[in-house]
Amino acid sequence: MKKRFNLLAVCSLAGIFMAGCNNPSSSNKQSGAMATNAAERVYVAPGEYDEYYGFFSGGFSGQLSVYGLPSGRLFKVIPVFSQDPEKAYGYSEETKPMLMTSHGFIPWDDAHHPDISQTDGELDGRWIFINGNNTPRIARIDLEDFSTAEIIEIPNSAGNHSSSFVTENTEYVVAGTRFSVPVPQRDISIKEYKGNFKGTLSFISVDQKTGDMNLSFQIMMPGFNYDLAHPGRGKSHGWFFFTTYNTEEAHSLLEVNASQNDKDFIAAVNWKKAEEYIKAGKGKKMPTKYAHNKFDNSTHTATSTMKEEVLILDASELPGLVYLLPTPKSPHGCDVDPSGEYIVGNGKLSANLTVHSFDKMLKAIESKQFDGESYGIPILKFEDVLAGVVEQPGLGPLHTEFDDQGNAYTTFFISSEVVKWKLGSWEVIDRKPTYYSVGHLMIPGGNSRKPDGKYLVAMNKITKDRYLPVGPDLNHSAQLYDISGDKMELLLDFPTIGEPHYAAAIKADKIMHKSREIYKLDENKHKYVTKSPADAKVVRNGKEVHVYMTMIRSHFTPDNIEGIKVGDKVYFHVTNLEQDFDVPHGISMLGANTTELLVTPGKTETFVWEPKEVGVWPFYCTDFCSALHQEMQGYVRVSLADSNIELSWSLDDE
Amino acid sequence: MKTSSNVFFLLVMSLGLLVSCNSKADKMAETESIITNERNVKTAEETKTISETEMQKTAEASERIDLENKGVGPVKSLILADIDQKLAAKGQEIFKNMCTACHKPDKKFIGPAPKGILERRSPEWVMNMILNPEVMIKEDPLAEELLKEFNGAPMANQNLKEDEARAVLEYFRTL
């Protein structure tokens, strides 16, 4: 009896001792994230910086969000294709033209694939491009301002999905149409799809100094669906590869009717050849209509221009421009490895991953052993271009990225996993589950000659039980893996905005030092700038009234205005006189049918107010700017339309 | 009897172990008490400051004369020659664009008037106030008092370059 109790005491003590003192060396042996010091590896201490900027497309939010990696902290949401009341993007008079299209003002789009500009095949951090899928557009975001600098609409396109990937010196950013449509648009029966509907692949040139985009040419292609794309690099620089599906040219119930062919194609486009054809005058000008919108950083104002012509190269008529590489079955992702040799086609309905060889493709083209043609475009023989096959790696492959050690990583939507495999030997090395239904994945620099094989981010469509439930719709998630070892390790997951279709990441030190702090007042060329409170004024021009207003901690000049009448259209042109980093001021007017303005230092922005009732109406600063922020306010007196009260304005009754 | 004492021993031992393992919590408690002490000291200091201020209430900070204090900032020493009218004119222009939102040349506004400032302050102090206001209101006692006198409206850093601040100073000499 006694012995037993003593034994029990010893056992309990040992148990308590082992469980109680959780020293670090023993914790490594436990399972779970805490055990692998995952928390430590993603922890960025308060006041310290992340190692990477991660730019995540917002999908149906239309925006681009900026996260820090590895922490997963959200820094900013850059408005691109959708109005943003927080920053007055698409609401202020200056930014409304950014959302103009040939269909008029469109306040939203479906933002897809961000891609950072490159020089010599490496990310250079000058700009990031992103495509609008619904009303085909490409935006360029300036990485000094972290704001949208330019949006160009893509004509003859519908569902701009295989976009906006750049060539290795950012010569071009591309846009391939997902839907084929009648080109030019016309009133015909949908049943006449076959042969009448066309697809275009657009090449938008980029000015290397200013970043200005120009729709250089479009390649007219058969009426397939063009899904994704990636550029050749290194030895394959000069080529661009696009996946196609619906080579059946079905016009209804595509999930069945576009899944009939054993193989669809990867279209290999020789864009250097395209340039030769253009020089030789083989391009045909075609009338069309598309908007080109630019934001000017000195006038702080966007302009929208309607363009009316595009240069077309017909792939069916110009030999050597495009070749078709047979690829099983309805390939989605089209990814090129860092060396430029391997082109991976992820057949959504295929059991295997197909990898083509660039060298073999060139040889096959040279020997002219074609497997027929489609609308005059030569089809290469599958066996002639095949580099290898990754056998049965998972279910529903979508996208592939690469590290700097000769490995590839592919997402599998149906089996919810990332699979790591070896280029050349095609063997599967590792697989890790995702939570759940992963779409895109991203390795910093993964679409370049020099990927950074440290982290991988998987972007998941379904999050179900991963976070506290918040009603029927849930944010999508991103999951961060450490890929520096042989085995991938899941470190962190964090919710994302909208639906991230792809992301791009770059080392922070490549862009953080050039990030803008202020706009210089003496460089402000806005038409209605007020550079000194002495120049603040209110000007009437018929029923139009222009208020030239300044803001500084913590008052507006003027802050009392009288003589406004019902029926006036009052433009508030507000200049922030601050010249210090991170001191924006806001302004909003009771009853104005628009958003606030959030004016960053040195900038001028405009909102319009159309007062409908007499009275005295207040306005105030919407961004807590100083200890006296609550004092930053003003009044506007509104009188009847036939009143004879003179226009007057003041600050402190002067 | 023997049994119960064994159980007692077990309980005591496990308690001891539990407590000794919790070294992190012990440290936190220590740190907290130190903070509490610091707070006490600071409170005492603040009380002292307030009573001193009350004693000196005869002159507002903006009217007090202190030509020795050079302030805190990049300008360490400055000897003024005759007034350079060209430089003053440049300073006037900069003042108009960068400063008049809060300062009128000869009248109290959001901040004090610069007229006659060099009779009360050293030129170094004035330039440091323009170039380094965030640090000045924390580290220069006079600047700190001025902040209180002017309703807690902190001077904005307008990011003037040193030569621009020098031009503004020259303009102040002409007022």
CATH number at residue A91: 2.130.10.10
Angle at alpha carbon of residue A399, lines to A398 and A401, rounded to 5°: 160
Q: Does B98 touch chain A (CB under 8 A)?
A: yes
Q: Which of A317, A338, A372 is the last residue of a domain?
A: A317
| Residues in chain A within 8 Å Cβ distance of B2 | 2, 5
Q: Are residues A540 and A596 in the same domain?
A: yes
Of A9, A580, A627, the CB nearest to B159: A580
A529 in a domain, yes or no? Answer: yes
Angle at alpha carbon of residue A451, lines to A447 and A456, rounded to 5°: 90
Give just the sign of the alpha carbon dihedral B113, B119, B123, B124: negative
Contact (Cβ atoms closer than 8 angstroms) between residue A374 and residue A222: yes
- B153: confidence class by pLDDT, cuts 50, 70, 90: confident
C-alpha distance from B96 to closest chain A C-alpha (Å)? 6
- Tell me, what's the pLDDT at A35? 58
Of B2, B153, B158, the CB nearest to A628: B153
Q: Which of A317, A339, A364 is the last residue of a domain?
A: A317
C-alpha distance from A427 to closest chain B C-alpha (Å)? 48
Whether B9 and A626 lie within 8 Å, measured CB to CB: no
Contact (Cβ atoms closer than 8 angstroms) between residue A398 and residue A348: yes
Q: Does A252 touch chain B (CB under 8 A)?
A: no
- B7: confidence class by pLDDT, cuts 50, 70, 90: very low
The alpha-carbon radius of gyration of chain A (Å, integer) is 29
pLDDT under 50 in chain A at which residues? 1-31
Residue B7 is encoded by which pair of tokens? 């159980």
Q: Does A37 touch chain B (CB under 8 A)?
A: no
Whether A579 and B96 lie within 8 Å, measured CB to CB: no
A429 in a domain, yes or no? Answer: no
- B19: confidence class by pLDDT, cuts 50, 70, 90: very low
Whether B100 and A628 lie within 8 Å, measured CB to CB: no
A637 in a domain, yes or no? Answer: yes
Of B3, B98, B152, the CB nearest to A628: B152
A496 in a domain, yes or no? Answer: no
- Residue-wise DSSP of A56-117: EE-BTT--EEEEEETT--EEEEE-SSS-BTTTTBTTSTTTGGGGEETTEE-----B---EEE
Q: Are residues A25 and A141 in the same domain?
A: no
Angle at alpha carbon of residue A31, lines to A28 and A33, rounded to 5°: 85
Probe site for chain A from B5, B102, B135, B159 (most A CB atoms < 10 A): B159
Residue A506 is encoded by which pair of tokens? 């770059």
**Could you tell me the CA-to-CA distances from A485 to A391, A407, B61 in Å, in that order?**
23, 12, 64
Size of interface A-B (CB pairs under 8 A): 77
A312 in a domain, yes or no? Answer: yes
| Residues in chain B within 8 Å Cβ distance of A579 | 98, 156-160
The number of angstroms, rounded, from the C-alpha of A334 to the middle of its chain's C-alpha atoms is 18
| Residues in chain A within 8 Å Cβ distance of B14 | 12-13, 16
- Tell me, what's the pLDDT at A105? 98
Name the least confident of A131-135, A644-648, B27-31, B100-104.
Answer: B27-31
- Tell me, what's the pLDDT at B54? 54
Of A5, A534, A578, the CB nearest to B6: A5
Q: Which of A274, A295, A317 is the last residue of a domain?
A: A317
In angstroms, the first-to-last Cα distance of chain A is 98
- Residue-wise DSSP of B73-137: SS-------S--HHHHHHHHHHHHHHTTTT-BTTB-SSS---TTGGGTB-HHHHHHHHH-HHHHH
In angstroms, the first-to-last Cα distance of chain B is 98
* CATH assignment of the domain containing A548: 2.60.40.420
A395 in a domain, yes or no? Answer: no
Whether B101 and A554 lie within 8 Å, measured CB to CB: no
Name which of A344, A338, A390, A386 is nearest A361 in CA terms: A386
Helices and strands per DSSP (H, E), number in chain A: 8, 46
- Tell me, what's the pLDDT at A34? 54
Which helix H or strand E contains A302, and what residues bound it?
Answer: strand A301-314
- Tell me, what's the pLDDT at B32? 40
- The b/e string for A279-296 (b: 16+ C-beta within 10 A; e otherwise) is eeebbeeeebebbbbbbe
> How far is residue A312's CA from residue A286's CA, in Å, rounded to a whole number?
7
The number of angstroms, rounded, from the C-alpha of A405 to the middle of its chain's C-alpha atoms is 27
> How far is residue A450's CA from residue A452's CA, in Å, rounded to a whole number?
7
Q: Does A598 touch chain B (CB under 8 A)?
A: no
Contact (Cβ atoms closer than 8 angstroms) between residue A326 and residue A371: yes
Q: Does B158 touch chain A (CB under 8 A)?
A: yes
Tally of domains within chain A: 3
Domain that holds residue A634: 521-649
Give just the sign of the alpha carbon dihedral A458, A463, A468, A472: positive
Probe site for chain B from A1, A4, A7, A17 (most B CB atoms < 10 A): A17
Name which of A422, A257, A258 is nearest A342 in CA terms: A422
Give just the sign of the alpha carbon dihedral B107, B108, B114, B120: positive
Q: Are residues A134 and A6 in the same domain?
A: no
Residues 6+ apart with CB under 8 A from A546: A528, A538, A539, A571, A573
Q: Please state the rounded mean pLDDT for residues B122-132.
A: 97
Helix, strand or coil for residue B38?
Answer: helix
Q: Tell me, what's the ipTM?
A: 0.71
- Tell me, what's the pLDDT at A32? 52
- Tell me, what's the pLDDT at A375? 97
Of B100, B152, B159, the CB nearest to A579: B159
Q: In chain B, pLDDT over 90 holds for what percent of residues?
A: 61
C-alpha distance from A2 to closest chain B C-alpha (Å)? 7
Q: Are residues A551 and A617 in the same domain?
A: yes
Sequence-separated contacts (24+) of B96-100 with Cβ below 8 Å: B96/A532, B96/A534, B97/A521, B97/A522, B97/A531, B97/A532, B98/A521, B98/A577, B98/A579, B98/B158, B98/B160, B98/B168, B99/B158, B99/B168, B100/A532, B100/A533, B100/A534
Q: Are residues A556 and A634 in the same domain?
A: yes
Q: Does A516 touch chain B (CB under 8 A)?
A: no
Of A531, A577, A627, the CB nearest to B152: A627
Q: Are residues A30 and A162 in the same domain?
A: no
Q: Which chain A residue has its CA at the smallest distance from B133's CA?
A: A580
Of B21, B101, B158, the CB nearest to A580: B158
A369 in a domain, yes or no? Answer: no
Q: Are residues A13 and A153 in the same domain?
A: no
> How far is residue A26's CA from residue A23's CA, in Å, rounded to a whole number?
6
Largest CA distance in chain B: 103
Q: Are residues A156 and A7 in the same domain?
A: no
Q: Backbone phi, then psi, for B118, in 5-degree steps? A: -75, -5
> How far is residue B112's CA from residue A553's CA, in Å, rounded to a whole number?
15
Q: Are residues A17 and A123 in the same domain?
A: no
C-alpha distance from B162 to closest chain A C-alpha (Å)? 15
- Tell me, what's the pLDDT at B58? 64
Q: Which chain A residue has its CA at the smallest distance from B9's CA?
A: A9
Q: Does B106 touch chain A (CB under 8 A)?
A: no
Whether B13 and A13 lie within 8 Å, measured CB to CB: yes
Q: Are residues A29 and A96 in the same domain?
A: no
Helices and strands per DSSP (H, E), number in chain B: 7, 0
Of B14, B101, B160, the CB nearest to A577: B101
C-alpha distance from A556 to closest chain B C-alpha (Å)? 9
Q: Are residues A168 and A87 in the same domain?
A: yes
Q: Are residues A14 and A121 in the same domain?
A: no
In tens, the pLDDT along B156-170 reads 999 999 999 999 999
A205 in a domain, yes or no? Answer: yes
Report the DSSP pairing between strands A331-336 and A284-296: unpaired
Give A378-444 as a 3 state SS string.
EEECHHHHEEEEECCCCCCEEEEEECCCCEEEEEECCCCEEEEEECCCCCEEEEEECCCCEEEEECC
The number of angstroms, rounded, from the C-alpha of A210 to the middle of its chain's C-alpha atoms is 20
- Tell me, what's the pLDDT at A13? 44
> How far is residue B22's CA from residue B26's CA, in Å, rounded to a whole number?
7
- Tell me, what's the pLDDT at B149? 92
In tens, the pLDDT along A124-155 reads 999 999 999 999 999 999 999 999 999 999 99
**Could you tell me the CA-to-CA distances from B120 to A66, A161, A553, B66 in Å, in that order?**
50, 68, 26, 6
Whether B14 and A534 lie within 8 Å, measured CB to CB: no
